[in-house]
Amino acid sequence: MIVDWESRDADTFFFQFSSFSLFQRSVAAVLNDEDLAKIFFEQIVYNSGDKSEDDKTGTSSSGSLGGLILQKVAGDPDIYELMLMIMNNLGQALSQQGIVREAILHHLAAAALLETRLQLLSGVDEEIAKDEILEAQDNLLHTRAHIWRASKVNGEWERFADFDVLKHHVDEIQLKNGMDSALLPFDTLGSDVTPQWRKNIAVKHAESLSLFSRNYSPETQKSLHTHRSINNNKPPLLKLGYLCYDFNDHPTAHLAEGLFLYHNTSKNNDIVVSAYNYGKNDNSSYRENIVMLSGGYQAEGGRFFELSHLGHDSGADLIKSDVPDVLIDMQGFTLGGRPELTARMLAPIQVNYLIFPGTSGATFMHYLVGDRFVTPPEHANFYSEKLSLMPESYQINFYKRHVGESENYSWTKEERRRARVDHGLCEDCFVFANFNKQDKIEPAIFNTWCDVIKSVPGSILCEFLQRVRVCACKSRLRMFCTFGLGAHSVPIIYFPSF
């Protein structure tokens, strides 16, 4: 589970300006010894990338000073738990900030500690240490899953084979023992697994939310809606509620802006739309427009409900007070998702839509909006929800903000030429472009892209990366060389605000 670092000179420069000083201070506080912390840092964390192909456990040899420190830490339950928490929590925090290589090293150090802990426990009677061994194995799988995800973001394709090992151990250690899976539903979407296994992981993940749903039954919510309908003197309005983390300058809002616009301008006056937001307010025009199309903030009499400052119980109560007939969860099991809210059955009909086009595995989600490509009807048995298939694409799109009112906008020849020059592209070559995030691209599909590019003479691949990833560029160049394609064939265009 060790990264094969290729440039120690670059790494040395990198670490000089890293946040590892914070890590060292944390380790020193736990060990109560600054010199010991320095040795731990230098020999275990820094050198975790120096292992040979035959020794990729992340641990130092038992005879080395680093190995002895690992054994000392792993042998003290209190210090061991604190160190494990520090390393994995800092790794997660660094990943969230996009500081991926440092994040990987923190998790590698955590893996080394866990493996040493398991080595020590192997010398104890199995019946006595059974629970501790299982707990350490569980923590190790979660740590290795963190490493795998961070490596995907960093473009370290050599680690993609780790997924098969992870999947095997998730089955044999976690699922067989009724434990939560280290691999999340979102991890399975772009992985080579069967639809049934993908559903199994989603169902297991959804089961962990049962604590939040036990006091919220469909019967209770149905009676609430029946009461509202009976007391109206006219046919009740259909109340739709959109739950989302990304009502800001984010691709979700870029798409959903048009959805709210069309709801707002529809001639059907029997529909009322609310937005339930629990993400940040970035004061962007996207955020302001969705607030405006929702009639303003709820606190000012509008239908844009702010949940970002509320916990799960208070947030659920606020949504419940709006009495939606249909609650559309636009986030699902993705970063920022709050399934703890939908688990409370806040509407008679709850819909999984847009960002997470996979099954939730949840009994509290009733429909999934998809299409025949993303959610093939022949795979209906592998979804816990009923499939609601759009005739073409399930994805809403909104272009008017960028191209005006014209529905058939196209560039002139001069506009196209100027745009290519501005972005460093040749004027007459055929350009294949990819707009996905780095972690959504894996070797097998890139292999296919290489085949296509090689079959179209003079073509190039243009990629848009959120951040410049040296490892990602190296992975691509290695594969291009394998296919006999030159480095000039893969310009990487970097848009820091994308």
Contact indicator for 369, 394 with CB cutoff of 8 Å = yes
pLDDT in tens, 162-202: 899 999 999 999 999 999 999 999 999 989 999 999 999 99
Task: Give CA 235 to chain center in angstroms.
Answer: 42
Instruction: Categorize the per-residue pLDDT at 409 as very low, low, confident or very high, splitting at 50, 70 and 90.
Output: low
pLDDT at 263 over 80: yes
Instruction: Categorize the per-residue pLDDT at 41 as very low, low, confident or very high, splitting at 50, 70 and 90.
Output: low
DSSP conformation letters of 243-281: EES--SSSHHHHHHHHHHHHHHH-S-TTEEEEEEE-S--
As a dihedral over the C-alpha atoms of residue 180, residue 186, residue 190, residue 195, rounded to 10 degrees, the angle is: 60
How many other C-beta atoms can be found within 10 angstroms of the C-beta atom of residue 242?
25
Residues 6+ apart with CB under 8 A from 45: 20, 23, 105, 106, 108, 109
Dist CA 451 CA 445 (whole Å): 10
Rounded average pLDDT over 466-487 = 67
Rounded average pLDDT over 2-12 = 32
Dist CA 145 CA 139 (whole Å): 10
Distances in whole angstroms, Cα of residue 455 to Cα of each of 170, 230, 435: 40, 66, 22
Dist CA 15 CA 102 (whole Å): 9
pLDDT at 25 over 90: no
Dist CA 462 CA 484 (whole Å): 18
Contact indicator for 92, 46 with CB cutoff of 8 Å = no
pLDDT in tens, 90-124: 899 888 888 888 889 889 989 999 999 999 999 88
pLDDT in tens, 121-138: 998 888 889 999 999 999
pLDDT at 44 over 70: no
Confidence at residue 452, expressed as pLDDT on a 0 to 100 scale: 87
Specify the range with the lowest mean pLDDT, choosing from 59-73, 139-153, 441-455: 59-73
Confidence at residue 71, expressed as pLDDT on a 0 to 100 scale: 87
Rounded average pLDDT over 78-84 = 88
Considering only residues 87 and 229, tell me which one the structure prediction assigns the higher pLDDT.
Answer: 87
Confidence at residue 477, expressed as pLDDT on a 0 to 100 scale: 67
How many other C-beta atoms can be found within 10 angstroms of the C-beta atom of residue 126?
9
Contact indicator for 138, 173 with CB cutoff of 8 Å = yes
Nearest of 155, 94, 102, 101 to residue 438 by alpha carbon: 155
pLDDT at 59 over 60: no
pLDDT in tens, 213-253: 755 555 655 555 554 554 455 667 899 999 999 999 999 99
Rounded average pLDDT over 420-425 = 82
Token pair belonging to 328: 């559309």
Specify the range with the lowest mean pLDDT, choosing from 37-41, 254-258, 338-342: 37-41
Token pair belonging to 152: 């995907």
What angle do helix axes 77-96 and 20-31 make, rounded to 10 degrees? 170
Considering only residues 125 and 278, tell me which one the structure prediction assigns the higher pLDDT.
Answer: 278
